[in-house]
Amino acid sequence: MWRELSPIGRDRDSGGYRRYAWTGADADCRAWFRAQAESRGLTHEVDRNGNQWAWLGDPAGRDAVVTGSHLDSVPDGGAFDGPLGVVSAFAALDELRARGAEFSRPLAISNFVDEEGARFGLACVGSRLTAGRLTAEQAGRLTDADGVTLPQAMERAGHDPEAVGADPERLGRIAAFVELHVEQGRALAEGPHPVGVASAIWPHGRWRFDFRGEANHAGTTRLADRRDPMLTYAHTVLAAREHAAGTGALATFGKVAVDPNGVNAIASLVRGWLDSRAADEETLAELVGAVERSAAEHGAADGVGVEVTRESFTPVVEFAGGLRDRLAALLARLDAERGGPGSAGAGSRGPASYGAGGPGAVPILPTGAGHDAGVLSAAVPTAMLYVRNPTGVSHSPAEFATEDDCTAGVVALADVLEDLACR
């Protein structure tokens, strides 16, 4: 499966993936998903919002167990973010069939469309629409860099844009959703466990800072006469870093736009976007407030006006405690029975094991990254498994997980699905 997916949407120069929603590369990924479903005798279905489902058992049945992730990418993304969860889902089903597992409820594998938001600027569009967190009207206004709207893009890709909207009936039939994902950090890299369980997704948001000064000649304007918004912006970037370091949170200015953007012109406007995330909403609010105050203070000193607009905000997501604890306890128990990684001793049912510790030793981690699982968690009991990423690098061609760790992820996912769907 990995070999089949690997050339799709890969940029020759960067080696990264450009699998944007409703493009040709996306269509190729979706065709691959459908072929995987059909080759396993699963019922393939595209829902009203363009998410793909592969059903074992009755697609209309109740108490379904669903696992999956996404196949789209950020610009020059890595191979693992998204596809690892989808490939592992199919591989976990293969593993369960090899074990002779008997399913007592429907099982589905899902591919949520447009998770990364690389094309239309909003993440998790497929799951947000389904969960009613994005209306059809709002989705209809999303536009890509070429001026193509989301409905136009859907239509060109053969999906009816008139169909989009909340799908509570579908979500109501799901008893549990489990998303496996490559870890986007190094918490697991520090320890012996290739697989961890998610505790929460940090609250996060985007704020636009507009710094307004005065455009003027870089060669003739005395320093004392300048109102240079670039200076205020630079001070604010440094302040964000300092405040974040002081609170254990994250603050990043990763995008900036400058007017008039000339080498020999003092800027009139610098617009910078702050992405900030923290373990809790209070810390996040304090951090962003501190950055805003620093910007205002430096702006006053520089003769620059500062205006801050919150463009998006996602509250903290605490994954369902019961499901999370059940997964962690199960993985820890099986881990102990199998004797830890590398052990092929008695009691080992799968091709690999995970974790070296005894019961309770499976790492439970928070993350700063958003996921479809986070969006769905308000409507469906939801859990996530993370697979160790030795460098922690993500959203980059350098994103990586070893084959052994990926296999351990598949076994862990199979164990979890067996527990949820086979008894």
Rounded Cα–Cα distance for residues 357 and 301 (Å): 56
State in angstroms the smallest separation of the CB of 282 from Zn ion. Answer: 27
Strand order in the sheet with 269-277: 250-259, 269-277, 204-212, 305-314
Q: Is 243 annotated as a binding residue?
A: no
CB 320 to Zn ion: min, Å: 20
Q: Which two tokens stand for residue 189?
A: 């890299």
Query: Is 119 annotated in some ligand binding site?
Result: no
- Check binding of 196 to Zn ion (CB under 5 A): no
- Assign 402 to helix, strand or coil: coil
Kindly tell me which of 82 and 363 has the beta carbon lying closer to Zn ion: 82
Contact between 82 and Zn ion by CB under 5 A: the answer reads yes
**Which amino acid is located at 51 in the chain?**
N
**CB closer to Zn ion out of 86 and 290:** 86
Whole-number CA gyration radius for the chain: 23
Report the distance separating Cα 4 and Cα 68, nearest Å: 18
Flag whether 423 is marked binding: no
Q: Nearer Cβ to Zn ion, position 323 or 373?
A: 373
Contact status, residue 21 vs residue 157, Cβ threshold 8 Å? no
Quick one: which segment of 81-89, 265-273, 307-315, 327-335 binds Zn ion (CB under 5 A)? Answer: 81-89
Separation between Cα atoms, residue 130 and residue 16, nearest integer Å: 29
173 is in an annotated binding site: no
| Minimum distance from residue 181 beta carbon to Zn ion (Å) | 6
**Euclidean distance between CA atoms 78 and 71, whole angstroms:** 11
Q: Does 183 bind Zn ion (CB under 5 A)?
A: no
Residue 241 annotated in ligand binding: no
Tell whether 261 is in a known binding site: no
Using CB under 5 A, count the residues that bind Zn ion: 2
CB of 83 to Zn ion, least distance (A): 9
* Residue 264 labeled ligand binder: yes
Q: What is the DSSP string of 67-109?
A: EEE-----TTB-SSTTHHHHHHHHHHHHHHHHHT---SS-EEE
Q: How far is the CB of 372 from Zn ion (least distance, A)?
A: 8
Q: How far is the CB of 402 from Zn ion (least distance, A)?
A: 19
d(CA 377, CA 400): 27
- Nearer CB in complex with Zn ion: 81/302: 81
Query: Is the Cβ of residue 350 or residue 374 nearer to Zn ion in the bound state?
Result: 374
The nearer residue to Zn ion, 298 or 388, going by C-beta atoms, is 388
Residue 111 Cβ, how far from Zn ion at the closest point, in Å?
Answer: 12
Site string for Zn ion, 197-226 (x = CB under 5 A): ------------------------------
Give 273's strand partners: 208, 255
Between the CA of residue 234 and those of 158, 271, 295, 302, what are the distances in Å? 46, 11, 9, 12
Residue whose structure tokens are 């007017």: 259
Whichever of 205 and 370 has its CB closer to Zn ion, that residue is 370
Candidate ranges 19-27, 79-87, 122-130, 304-312; the one touching Zn ion (CB under 5 A): 79-87
Round to whole Å and give the CA distance between 319 and 383: 6
For residue 149, what is the DSSP state? B
Q: Smallest gap, in angstroms, from Cβ of residue 116 to Zn ion?
A: 7
Task: Point out which span in 14-22, 60-68, 77-85, 346-354 binds Zn ion (CB under 5 A).
Answer: 77-85
- Judged by beta carbon, residue 336 or residue 376, the one nearer Zn ion is 376
- Contact predicate 147/120, CB 8 Å: no
Contact stretch for Zn ion (CB under 5 A) within 78-86, 142-150, 340-348, 377-385: 78-86
What's the min distance (Å) between Cβ of 207 and Zn ion? 23
**Residue pointed to by tokens 């120069």:** 13
- CB nearer to Zn ion: give 88 or 236: 88
Longest pairwise C-alpha distance within the chain: 81
Specify the pairing of strand 382-387 against strand 216-217.
unpaired
* Lookup result for tokens 């080498």: 263
Neighbours of 64 (CB within 10 A): 24
Q: Is 81 in the site for Zn ion (CB under 5 A)?
A: yes
Residues marked as binding?
70, 81, 116, 181, 206, 264, 277, 395
- Binding residues for Zn ion (CB under 5 A): 81-82
Residues marked as binding for allantoate?
206, 264, 277
